[in-house]
Amino acid sequence: MWSTKQRAMGRSTVAKELFKGSILFGPVPAVLVTTVDRNGKANVFTVAWTGVVCSQPPLVTISVRKERLSYENISATGEFVINLTTREMAKMTDFCGCRSGRKVDKIKHFGMELEEGVDVAVPSLMKSPVALECKVRSVTELGSHDLFVAEIVRNKVDRQLIDKNGAIQLGQAGLLAYCHGEYFALSRHALGSFGFSVARKSVRQARHRQKFAKGNKNKS
């Protein structure tokens, strides 16, 4: 526990305003989730409350309001697809979060091309660089949203993002993020890679040379 003196010091050195608890968090991925109803009719809607919760097995979550059409679809089929979005998909992503599939056929409105599911009966978006096919493991009622925990059973990745060594260069996709009511495109230039803060100098230098060589190759 902090002493009175420590708390006073903290207040004097950190200039922060206090607000009541609310969703002030970001950035988060703004994804387009595709679903189908019992008759196989597809719908798409935007989800920002999504994230990875386990690596083995690979589990993700999406939080969905009960009044959404896709809530009914997911509850009925137990399947959905998370489609990552890019800067070119920003308008589409925003629209699909503002309009209900009960009133607008959003797939038809944007002329979205669909790709048949591999391990689920739900299509993915051809325009999306990465699609994660998911099967629901559990549903938890939270309040305004219900939390769906799902296992990723198949990943579909744009071949243009896979280099000659088979490595996925997701940083080149221009992915879209959502932060406190606004959309941002992620930079194509990484600040570092996992483990760079503890890597030996020789390893960091080798990584730098590799990135430099790749950058020059792309320019030629």
- Cα distance between residue 88 and residue 112, in whole Å: 13
The answer to the question of residue 113 being in a domain is: yes
The residues pairing with 60 across neighbouring beta strands, listed in sequence order, are 52, 150
The answer to the question of residue 23 being in a domain is: no
What are the pLDDT digits (tens) for 155-165? 999 999 999 99
Assess whether 206 and 146 both reside in one domain.
no
Counted domains in the chain: 2
Assess whether 211 and 169 both reside in one domain.
no
Return the DSSP state at 162. Answer: B
What are the pLDDT digits (tens) for 96-145? 999 999 999 999 999 999 999 999 999 999 999 999 999 999 999 999 99
- Cα distance between residue 163 and residue 148, in whole Å: 33
Assess whether 134 and 173 both reside in one domain.
yes
Assess whether 116 and 211 both reside in one domain.
no
Q: Where are the beta strands (DSSP E) in the chain?
A: 28-29, 31-36, 42-47, 50-54, 59-64, 79-83, 114-115, 124-125, 130-141, 146-157, 176-179, 182-185
Residue 149 domain boundaries:
28-189
Q: How many CA atoms lie within 13 A of 27 on its CB side?
A: 13
In this structure, the number of other CB atoms found within 10 A of the CB of residue 105 comes to: 14
The answer to the question of residue 160 being in a domain is: yes
Lookup: tokens for 46 = 């935007």
If one compares 130 and 8, the residue with the highest pLDDT of the two is 130
Domain with residue 73: its CATH number is 2.30.110.10
Quote the pTM value.
Answer: 0.84
Assess whether 146 and 49 both reside in one domain.
yes
